Structure 1
Amino acid sequence: MSATAELTERPETRPVPRDDFTIDQPLERYVDTDHAVWAHLYARQASLLEGRVCHAFLEGLGKLDLPKNRVPSFAALNRRLRAATGFEIVAVPGLVPDRVFFEHLANRRFPVTWWMRRPDQLDYLQEPDCFHDLFGHVPLLIDPVFADYMQAYGRAALAFAHDANALPLFARLYWYTVEFGLIRDAAAPNGMRVYGAGIVSSKSETLYSLDSDSPNRIGFALERVLRTRYRIDTFQKTYFVIDDFRQLFDIARADFAKLIPAFAGAPALGAGDVLPGDAVITRGSGQGWAREGDV
């Protein structure tokens, strides 16, 4: 989401996007370093996520049969993805404008950044690269209920894409579900597993989100999430925990025509706030939190 970001490449070397910001995946431009970075990140995350990520993600990873040692071909993955849920991935040069992003989701297309991070960026990257977008997001798009949520979210957000006051609310919903969501699982050691792409594609956030005493973990409530700011520069202060993916689909079908006007003008909550009515699973210690910088 958000406006197109500055890429690490020189402008004259970037593929020129179409009007919908898509390009053909330039497979010929991946070099040995790109494939080595993919292989390293894949091996690290696949091992780390065992026992920590939701079962649907692991099932999707298996069904997609992502290559472990090289950057995947989007066309090859689309043959499996379309057959499963009707979704497809489209290559883009980087972050795309909100309206364009919503239009893609509403039409069961998921934008995936084509380029790979450098070896010195393995643990932190300001903007999403191919590994984050593909490994982090795409395995869940093979799950029918989650795929339906993504399309329903895109349709709902697209209806308000012209409203500057509404966009932060939809950004918060996306952030606290698709990017940094946790899901209940009674069989997990602490009763929760990860599913958000910003977590599953990151070694440090995977460990922090489940094991650290610092963040809050709160049962998901739509109105609460729409009001809650978040962090883009460090670990999250709060994670919202859904019961299952069906809950997400029901949320995306909410009457946003009534909800958005009610909350667009309301004061936003801090990323680490805990309210009296919250379904608190674990209350964070707040250790290491920055006082400024909530978005």
Structure 2
Amino acid sequence: MTSWKYDVNITRIESRINTDRPSKFDFFVDFHGQIGDDANVDALLGKLRGMTDRLLVLDEKEVHWFPRHISELDLIANRTLDAGVDLEADHPGFHDVAYRKRRAHLADIALKHRMHHETIPSTEYTREEVETWGMVWDTMKDLWEKYACKEYKTSMRLMERHCNYSRDAIPQLSAVASFLKEHSNFRLRPVAGLISSRDFLNGLAFRTFFCTQYIRHPSKPLYTPEPDICHELLGHVPMFVDRDFCDFSQEIGLASLGASDDDITRLARCYWYSVEFGLCREDGTKKAYGAGLLSSFGELEYACRDRVDGEEEDDERPEIRPWDPEVAANLEFPITTYQPVYFIADSLQDGKVKMRKYCEGLSRPFHALFNSQTETVHIDRPVRRAKGVPCSD
């Protein structure tokens, strides 16, 4: 290579067959140095221009900050939209001082956690919290058997066997996280409360799910105005045992890295209509794979139950559309009522393929690949990450 003569350090070189001229190769090279600020780099590029009929230089572009290594998830995990304590006035636990104190304690544990250096600390759940969990479990169990997809039911059997999933105990996040890491190379990271769509999706790029640990208020065991541990462990986590579903989630996460605000909104809608409220076909029937359905007794039946003979037409029945990320990305959704529209994929594999195709069509600042060995994201062009992400203590 000519680069050594100019004292330019190459960090990556890749060759690809030129699709327009199959007998030719294109070379992609990353190197240390700045165009215009480094005389050696400028001299090298001048030399290369005389050696080729096509030289494309990708200047550094500034993009939204995004994590490059899994340890950097700690920089975004604590940027909660609420602190897990400041409940809205209409929250069932708003006037319950003991409940708010408990939420503050669990939030503090999450805020102090550092995922790359520590195991998730154990939580001693109270009798009242376990009873709330048990009521949710008892209400959902028969509905899972009737309406959940086969991947979910297979995973739940594994979780019962290996992670102490039962009506009588809330599983420890550390045990669940260890099982997922071994089974599907997926991780859990406790958070104090809701985080932004960008930060949440960025975590999925590293096969990491930001997970709350508090539980809904006991006065309304079958209702929660926010994601809680019932939603996380009974809705989301069993699906993360399935590798295809993990890949599906990671596709959305990788597309979110450095994405524009508009594209984050589109990807968040795709996530909502699939990972949260997605349906799939199974032996000609509707089955649920979305966590928002699998943790809600009313909405699961609302979305999946077929109209029986003799039942009158009901305007409140939801609309079921074929899974199409292009359509879902531009469709707003309600967060306090049942969904008026659900999307159904032919299978989880069909959902993943269509999501990947949609992500490939986005005008992305770069394409990202996750290296599971180094737990690092590699990108295919030089960019500058915008400043402004606070350091983790």
The TM-score with structure 1 as length reference comes to: 0.79
Structure 2 counterparts to residues 1-295 of structure 1, below 5 A: 4-5=81-82, 7-8=84-85, 9-10=100-101, 13=105, 14-15=107-108, 17-18=111-112, 25=120, 27-65=122-160, 66-160=165-259, 163-187=260-284, 191-211=285-305, 213=314, 214-254=317-357, 256=359, 258-259=361-362
Question: Which structure 2 segments of 5+ residues have no match?
Answer: 1-76, 86-99, 308-313, 365-393
Describe the SS at the equivalent of 2:262: coil
User: What amino acid is the match of 1:15?
Assistant: D
1:3-52, Cα deviation, whole Å (9 max, x unpaired): 52353435864315159799975544521111111111112111222121
Going from structure 1 to structure 2, the CA distance change for 1:25 and 1:130 (only over 3 Å counts) comes to: farther
Q: Distance in 2 between matches of 1:227 and 1:221?
A: 11
Q: 1:26 to 1:94 in 2, by over 3 A?
A: farther
Residue identity (%): 27
2-structure distance, mates of 1:27, 1:116: 15
Rate the CA distance shift 1:245–1:36 in 2: closer, same or farther, 3 A: same
Based on CA coordinates, which of the two structures has the bigger radius of gyration? 2
- Tell me, what secondary structure is at the counterpart of 1:217? strand
Higher mean displacement: 14-23 or 197-206? 14-23
> How many aligned positions are there?
256
Q: More strand per residue: 1 or 2? A: 2
User: Take 2:360 and 2:151, find their aligned partners in 1: how far apart are those partners?
Assistant: 31
- Given residue 238 of structure 1, which amino acid in structure 2 is its aligned partner? V
Whole-angstrom distance in 2 between the partners of 1:225 and 1:117? 29
Distance 1:174 1:31, change over 3 A: same
Q: In the aligned structure 1, how far is the partner of 2:262 from the partner of 2:115? A: 24
Kept in 2: contact 1:156–1:252 (CA 8 A): no
Q: Secondary structure at the match of 2:226?
A: coil
Letter in 2 for 1:102: L
Give the alignment's TM-score, normalised by structure 2.
Answer: 0.60
CA–CA separation in structure 1 for the residues paired with 2:171 and 2:268: 28
Query: CA shift at 1:78, angstroms?
Result: 2.2
